[in-house]
Amino acid sequence: MKKIALITGATSGIGEATARKFAEHGIDLIICGRREEKLAGLKESLEKDVAVRTLSFDVRSEEATLAAISSLEDEWRHISILVNNAGNAHGLSTIDQGDTRDWDAMMDGNVKGLLYVSRAVIPGMVGRKSGHIVNISSIAGKETYKNGAVYCASKAAVEAISQGMRLDLTEQGIKVTNIAPGAVETGFSMVRFKGDAERAEKVYAGFEPLQAADIADAIFYAVSAPAHVTIADMTILAAAQSQATVIHRQ
Ligand code: 8X3
């Protein structure tokens, strides 16, 4: 049977690159995101290689997430790969100055959204006694940096959820991979800095950052490992990066 992957946050960045990588390798796709038009455009460009289904919803809404995933037709229900990629950073400030709406957005999207999607997809995997979950964490989940307490906390939660999923699901024949990228040049910093392009550009200046395709390659490597191999955890940094905020710039 052909593999089906469900990817959240597929309309840009790592999610979109992963959809393209999977399509190159013949994996049918359920691409999820908030932006219907972007999903439709991506569907069109991937459909020459694989079958594609779109689901437009916001992972922060439990109701919308359940409604979207339960709307899948029978032929789309045997999801073999779940890529929990949707997530963002909102703001960068000290804990006394942080905007609680930013905190809500990060906790609701990066943590609760990941859980809602997982809760809707995993029972099918358990029923089939097979599946692979890839959670996109961050170097920020491994170390906490100044001004980043809440984003880092949300990603530390992803790290714990990955470990917990592996403990609960290994006996069900389900693999769990946690991937922690460092500085990837995507729309990430534009979102973090609320559209301040000058500030966002500085994040990736003076060194060669990772590209979304670098992370997609790692995800594909993990999901195509032999049956007896689990790639449990990968941390991927730019070559010029040694910690989240330590980057050797020219
Ligand atoms: C994105 C990487 O270092 O900006 O998750 O937190 S970092």
pLDDT, tens digit, for every residue of 68-113? 999 999 999 999 999 999 999 999 999 999 999 999 999 999 999 9
Using CA positions, which residue lies closest to atom 4 of ligand 1? 183
Q: Is 237 a pocket residue for ligand 1 (Cβ < 6 Å)?
A: no
The pLDDT of residue 53 is above 90? yes
Task: Give me the pLDDT at residue 12, please.
Answer: 96
Task: Give me the pLDDT at residue 29, please.
Answer: 98
Using CA positions, which residue lies closest to atom 5 of ligand 1? 138
DSSP assignment letter at 110: I
Q: Mean of the pLDDT values across residues 54-69?
A: 98
Q: Is 182 a pocket residue for ligand 1 (Cβ < 6 Å)?
A: yes
Q: Best substitution site from 92, 139, 211, 215 to test ligand 1's pocket, by max atoms within 8 Å of Cβ?
A: 139
pLDDT, tens digit, for every residue of 204-245? 999 999 999 999 999 999 999 999 999 999 999 999 999 999
Which of 116, 151, 204, 221 is flagged as catalytic?
Answer: 151
Q: Mean of the pLDDT values across residues 114-142?
A: 98
Dihedrals phi, psi of 14, to nearest 5 degrees: -60, -40
Q: Mean of the pLDDT values across residues 138-157?
A: 98
Task: Give me the pLDDT at residue 227, please.
Answer: 97
Q: Atom of ligand 1 at shortest distance to CA of 203?
A: 4
Interior/surface letters 106-138, b for 16+ CB within 10 angstroms, e for the rest: bbbbbbbbbbbbbebbbebbeeeeebbbbbbbb
Measured in Å, residue 123 CA sits from the centre of ligand 1 at 31
Task: Give me the pLDDT at residue 1, please.
Answer: 74
Residue 151 is a catalytic residue: yes
The angle at the Cα of 34, spanning 30 to 36, to the nearest 5 degrees, equals 75
Rounded Cα–Cα distance for residues 158 and 138 (Å): 9
Query: In whole angstroms, how far apart are CA 47 and each of 30, 39, 84, 163, 216?
Result: 11, 12, 22, 34, 19
Measured in Å, residue 48 CA sits from the centre of ligand 1 at 34
Q: Is 140 a pocket residue for ligand 1 (Cβ < 6 Å)?
A: yes
Q: Atom of ligand 1 at shortest distance to CA of 244?
A: 3
- Any idea where the domains of the chain sit in the sequence? 4-247
* pLDDT above 70: percentage of residues in the chain: 100
* CATH number at 4-247: 3.40.50.720
* pLDDT above 90: percentage of residues in the chain: 99
Look at residue 168 and give its three-state secondary structure: helix
Read off the amino acid at residue 228: H
Q: Is 139 a pocket residue for ligand 1 (Cβ < 6 Å)?
A: yes
Q: Atom of ligand 1 at shortest distance to CA of 188?
A: 1
Tokens of 106: 């990060």
Measured in Å, residue 21 CA sits from the centre of ligand 1 at 22
Rounded Cα–Cα distance for residues 171 and 155 (Å): 25
Q: Is 150 a pocket residue for ligand 1 (Cβ < 6 Å)?
A: no
pLDDT, tens digit, for every residue of 126-135? 999 999 999 9
- What's the mean per-residue pLDDT of the chain? 97
Using CA positions, which residue lies closest to atom 2 of ligand 1? 182
